[in-house]
Structure 1
């Protein structure tokens, strides 16, 4: 206490100091510390995976296709139908996607189909959708997803056939500048066994 200061004034001042201290502590506790912009913690982002971005470059252009297609899928059928066709493929979105237009000259008529592919730089995988020209207003098939390894591209999806779940597999193989092979297989038992139901042998049009 300051000499000459009344005792009651001393108690009032002490109370005020204590009250101010409580208010300051409460305010400081509710304020988020400020950071300079360079000090703000940044969320680390993985570098894009571009290893497979050019995997389908081999398919750009015009192709002739010879097809062998199983007449009935997952029905213990051994009857194959053979026919000719064409494929025309071009890149989209500066190579991040591509599309091919297919013509199938099946016995009894001709129909078309479109394959659309898109690359995911997070996973390094391609997704492939199929649109059947015989049902252009229907839903797209579930996309098969996968990548190439040692020159072979393998892609998988879950789908249904006659109301039952099936596993779908596409394989691209035997790729050269002028030829390639594609095949489709179904599995009724989650990938334990496979039945190949469609094979395409491609030759580049000169």
Structure 2
């Protein structure tokens, strides 16, 4: 039930995000600092469509072990709310079986940042991962969040890079020292199907 309530909150947040620009438009003389930042609204447009994904994932992040697994998968990404949000439906063919997940994203015109959540199909009614937040600068998207791993606080970082019409690169890294050092634990190479 908690998971369902959390999902309802995300849907409500996405709906509110769609209404924010209208609220700004109704002001008579908005101040320069009060104007919405729409500069990054189209940053994830490249991802709309269907992709083949090759993943390389560290089996036990932040454990000192360097055992990696590799697997294939697919991502199907669709825009929502006239581009102010989008969602990925992901399928991974991991060695232990199929793993599904959903990645909703929403754009905040107040900060010019995107928030990205992850809903794990293996435990869809568990806790929703904290959103990573960030933006693209010179074609590279960097997103951060605070989270926990095995009961201890960590920082999470996503990086999107190497973006073209038919290819992209994504990686995830964790830090257990407040962001001084990072251990990359998941790397994806995306190739457009359509």
Provide TM-score, normalisation by structure 2: 0.83
| CA distance in 2: counterparts of 1:166 and 1:202, whole angstroms | 27
When residues 49 and 43 of structure 1 are mapped into structure 2, their CA distance, relative to the original with a 3 A threshold, is: closer
Which of 111, 118, 131 is the matching residue for 2:119? Answer: 131
| CA distance in 2: counterparts of 1:77 and 1:122, whole angstroms | 41
| CA distance in 1: counterparts of 2:96 and 2:186, whole angstroms | 18
2:49 is aligned to 61
Instruction: Say which SS state the counterpart of residue 148 (structure 1) adopts.
Output: strand
Residues 134-153 of structure 1: CA deviation (Å, up to 9, x unaligned) = 00111210000000000000
Please give the root-mean-square deviation of Cα atoms over the aligned residues, in Å.
1.4
Residues 156-192 of structure 1: CA deviation (Å, up to 9, x unaligned) = 0000011110000000000010000000000000100
Number of corresponding residues:
166
1:74 is aligned to 62
How far the C-alpha of 1:113 sits from its partner, in A, is: 0.4
Which of 126, 147, 150 is the matching residue for 2:135? Answer: 147
How far the C-alpha of 1:111 sits from its partner, in A, is: 1.4
For the pair shown, the structure with the greater C-alpha radius of gyration is: 1
Matches within 5 A, 1:14-93: 44=31, 46-93=34-81
Provide TM-score, normalisation by structure 1: 0.78
How far the C-alpha of 1:77 sits from its partner, in A, is: 1.2
Residues 29-53 of structure 1: CA deviation (Å, up to 9, x unaligned) = xxxxxxxxxxxxx885711101000
Residues 107-146 of structure 1: CA deviation (Å, up to 9, x unaligned) = 0210100001000001000000000000011121000000
1:187 aligns with 2:175: yes
User: 4+ residue runs of structure 1 moved beyond 2 angstroms?
Assistant: 42-45
Gaps of at least 5 residues in structure 1 are 1-41
1:99 aligns with 2:114: no
